[in-house]
Structure formats: structure tokens, C-alpha cells
Structure 1
């Protein structure tokens, strides 16, 4: 699927967030309650997110920051708290409202923004209906989804079927963790500092070891935060695949082979980790990411990449291919 509408030339940030004020309530069932504005600062339940509400909700601020940091364009998606996973059958209205407002917002950005919409991942028919709507919307490139839902990932069941629908539709898929709580991560923001990369790593492993990319070679799927721990564990997975029949029973090719078909963003917070990622992943699968506007964002994503040896032309081309944007700005 090619994105409808013109997109500005330059490096494309595939990982940034936007949510309109009208939808700060979040989908039904979210355990911490909704998001809210308190004296100009955005809160999730009773917890401050440490940035202005307008950075998340004001599309003009998103555009201004995109231009300020030297990006050509940004792909914006909902923050992961807005994924409809806790009471999904009650979230259809929220999902459709977000996608309608997303399409309106990106189409008014003069080619600076593209959108990654919301879908349900519990019901393949509901997912297909919403993806069909997204395909007709100007400026929409794909979907953003969680890596894990109630102990399941994309290796089997409905979640795997959802990826098959996305591949058939030609929609890009951005996989973003949700900060799932665990008692050992209750302090020091470990639910993010450890939890986010672990969620992503689990999903990457499920994709590689259960043959998802073998089944869906046309799928364009990106794992954020540099793929979590996956680049540093790839050798271990490769050894296990060769050493144990239970590890390789779901896939006919070794993990390193399928790893080369996955996309990854560049939010690594460490040049050495970025170098490991670029050594393990295919050069045409590396995508600029920022995680705007969160506190864990890379504040100057273009400078970070250029200062560490990545090429602007390649990054722009990779972003356009992943998002289905035709060449030229």
C-alpha cells in the first residue's frame, strides 16, 4: 500500500506519539484510569509523565518539534496506554474515533506527518475492518500494536492472523511495548527501563522462532527501542536453534536469517548499542526513531544518528520503504 498524499523529504522518524485531548480518557478497562491535564502537565492516572500536555495533544507542537530537530517527517501513533487490550470488545468506538482524528491531523500537516492507526488484536475480523478503513485514509501508513497481550504474542492465534491481514493490506506495523507491571519492577521505573525492552525482545523471539517471517515475507514490521535486548541475544538464539530440536521446530531457517527481515528503530541511548544493532540488522532495515514526547525519548534523533556514522540518504530511503511512501518529497 502506498501512502496517500505527499510527504516531506528528509529523514523520517517512525516512532513518535500523538493523542487528541478528546481521547485522553483512554480505552475501556485501562487499569490506571485515564490521562489528564493538570496545570499544563500530562498525567497518567495519578502519575506525572513529566512533559506538557500540549506536547502530546497539540498537532502543531508535534509538527514544530519535527522541523526543529531537522527531520523531514514523522510517523505518529497513539501512546501505548491507548492500545485497546483490556476490554477490547468495548473499544471499537474509541479505536475508530482515534483513527478518524489521526487522519484529519496528519492530512493537515502539509506532508510533515503520517499516521499509524489503532486496531484490536483480539479479533481478526474487527482488525480487518479497521485496517480496511485505514487503507482509504489520506496520510495513514500502517498500525501500531503491542508486543504482548495476556501472555500471547505474534507466534500463533489471533495476533498472528492480524499480522497476516496487515501484510496482505500492505500496512506497516510498529510494535510498541506497554510497560506491563511486575512486582519486581515496582521501583526505579524498572517497568520501563527493563520491562519495555523485555516485552519487545519476547515478541522478536516469537517471530523468529515460530517462522512468522517465513510465512509472511512481505510483512513490514518494526520493533522499537532498538529491538530491546534482541541484538545482544541473537547469537544465543542461533546457538539454541542449532543445538535443540524444540527451539527449531517452528522455523525452517536460523534466527539470523529471519532477523535480517525485521525493521528496528534507533532509540538505543548508547552509541555502542547502536553499533551492535547496525551490525546485526540489515542496513536497509534501520529506521530513525525518537519516542517523542516521552521522557525516555532521544531528543535530537537526527544528530544522534549522523554523529554515529549513519547515512541520511539511507535512513530516508528506509523510512519511506517501511511506511510505503513513494520516493521523492
Structure 2
């Protein structure tokens, strides 16, 4: 069972909110039958292919590349945390309905994550409730910051409290990255800004005491956690030498037991480091399909690691993601895999 935890989708018929509401809403401009441009304020944000909206094309790629299940999540530029709450709720619902329908139409191949308007905690909770309890999605994707506010800001506490109460898996993906004025050249926003942004989000949640307050939050950080895994010892040292800044009972490394990381780091040494520091049960295969920086085929680096046991490889390639997402049962090729509350697997009929 191979599960690609990190893939993105966008509705082909995304309404033109820029025309409707004004502002920097992303729009999808078709360039041909098999491609489009994501535009923001008249500027090209990203070129995309029909793989990003067409489930049939995705399934063809999955079959060719050996992926059994994709976990679908929105393209982060559509978060639109800057917008009026009412309009942002509308945008969230359009995407969540699209993802839910894609999953419903192809239940053996897709699992869905929703998006919520984080600029308003009450509305975010309401849409998370709808995603999880009406649309039957399996988690929520959120950004690393909300309009420049780190995720430890007090206004987000109610959201995290409900996510913990409802056992909602959260996928934290970088967006609106730091140092935007210093990273346009060389596309450093993607290669330097995003990993640094992710580290700041993770560090903020730990150092502030959010994770101590909500110890059962389930969080996965994109792109192998960015630079966070490598600066964790430095965070511990800061906690040690600055007692006047401490907001937690224990040093930062104490609070990572529920952190997960996708495997998108492109290098077996980085994967080995994640496994050594956090355990192979906390790493989930993810490719960033269908974008240019994705790993092809998904799981390539994991397959090339000769120091993983068969059990470890199977968990990283699929089982960990299904456990993280609370997936109880998936049918593939008429075979059933059941996952109990501890994440242990038992084949149907065995």
C-alpha cells in the first residue's frame, strides 16, 4: 500500500472572486485543454496542468508510478487568509466540496484534507466541523502563519482546542514565507523561504506552550519539516540558557511526540535523520504532486534506502499516513486493509 500524503488540487471551474469581491484572489486562466495559469492580481503565480483538477489524469499517473492512494489538499495560495471572512468561507467551501466529491467519486484512490478561514477562529471551527463531520474529510491543511501572525497567537487557541477534541489531523504547509523581499531571485522562496517558514511555525507552536496545552494535537509538517528538525537542538539550547523566556515545563524537544513529517526532502541522509530523531512511525511518503518540485516517482528516495527494514519501509510508504489520518478502511483491488485505533493492520479475513 503506497499512500502519497502530499498532493494538491484546485477546482477547474474556480469562480473569479477577484471580479466578484476585488483583491488578490487567485484565479485560474485556461491556456489550453490540458493546462492553465494560476493568476494573482494579473500576475502569473504558477503554471499548472490538468493533473491538478482532473482525477482521471491523476489516477493514470498513480497507476504508472505505483501509488495506491493520494491525499488531496488545496493549493496554499487559495488559503486567502487576508480576505473578508465571509468571502473566505465561501472560497473554502468551494474547495472542500470539490475535494469531498473527488474522494466520494473515487473512494479507493483518494483521501481528502480541507481548508478553513484561519483569519476568523469561529468560522474556521465551523468549517472544520463541516469538513470532518459532514463531508467526511480526513483532516485540515493550514498555513504556517496567518497574515503575518505566528500560529501561537492567542486567537488561534480555540481552533487548536477543537482540532484536538475532534482528533483532527492538521497538515501545516508553508505559505506567505518570511524574507519575501530577499528571496525572489533564484526562486529562493521555494528552496530556502519555505523550509525556514515551516521551522518558524513548528518552533512557535512548541516554545509558546500551545503543544503543552494541547498535547494530543496531531500535526504533520510539509517538506520533511523544513529546517525544523535540524534546529531543534538549538531551540533546546536557547530554552536552557534563557530561563526568563521559558513558557513550557520542558525543553522544546520534549513536545514533538505527535509531530509527523512528510518525506519530501529528496535525500536519503535527510530521511535517515528524520527517522533517527523522530522514529520511522512519524515519517510519511509525500511527493508534492503534481508540481515541478515533486519527487518522481513518489517514494523514490525511500525505495533507494538499503538500511530500512521491510516493515519500516511499508510504514513510511503508506501505513503511517493512514494511521495519522484515522483512515479505518480502504479498499484497493478488492482487498481490504483495516486499521485499528493503534494503527496496527490486519488483512480482511485473516
Structure 1: gaps of 5 or more residues: 1-9
Task: Give aligned pairs, total.
Answer: 318
Of 187, 190, 213, the residue aligned with 2:188 is: 190
What secondary structure sits across from 1:47 in the alignment? strand
Bigger strand share: 2
Partner of 2:121: 124
Aligned to 1:313: 314
CA RMSD of aligned residues (A): 2.1
Deviations 1:57-91 (A, max 9, x none): 11112222223222221110110011131204122
Asked if residue 281 in structure 1 is aligned to residue 278 in structure 2, the reply is: yes
Can you give the 5+ residue segments of structure 2 that lack an aligned partner in the other structure?
330-336, 339-350
Instruction: Work out the CA distance in 2 between the residues paired with 1:254 and 1:282.
Output: 19
Deviations, residues 208-236 of structure 1 (Å, cap 9, x unaligned): 11122221122111000010101111111
Where does 1:164-313 land on structure 2 (aligned, <5 Å)?
A: 164-180=161-177, 182-247=180-245, 249-308=246-305, 309-310=307-308, 311-313=312-314
In the aligned structure 2, how far is the partner of 1:44 from the partner of 1:17? 13
Deviation at 1:119, TM superposition (A): 0.4
Question: Aligned partners of 2:188, 2:240: CA distance in 1, in Å?
Answer: 33
Larger radius of gyration: 2
Tell me the equivalent position of 2:143. 146
TM-score by length of 2: 0.84
Residues of 2 paired with 1:15 and 1:25: CA distance? 26
Which of 63, 67, 81 is 2:77 aligned to?
Answer: 81
1:325 maps to: 327
> Which residue does 1:37 correspond to in 2?
30
TM-score, normalised via structure 1 length? 0.89
The match for 2:10 is 19
After TM superposition, the structure 1 = structure 2 runs for residues 30-109 of structure 1, keeping only pairs within 5 Å, are: 31=24, 33-39=26-32, 40-45=34-39, 46-47=43-44, 49-52=46-49, 54-89=50-85, 90-109=87-106
Answer 1 or 2: higher relative contact order, Cα 8 Å, separation at least 6: 1
Q: 1:25 to 1:197 in 2, by over 3 A?
A: farther
Question: Do the aligned residues in 1 keep the contact of 2:17 with 2:25 (CA within 8 Å)?
Answer: no
Superposed displacement of residue 154, structure 1: 1.9
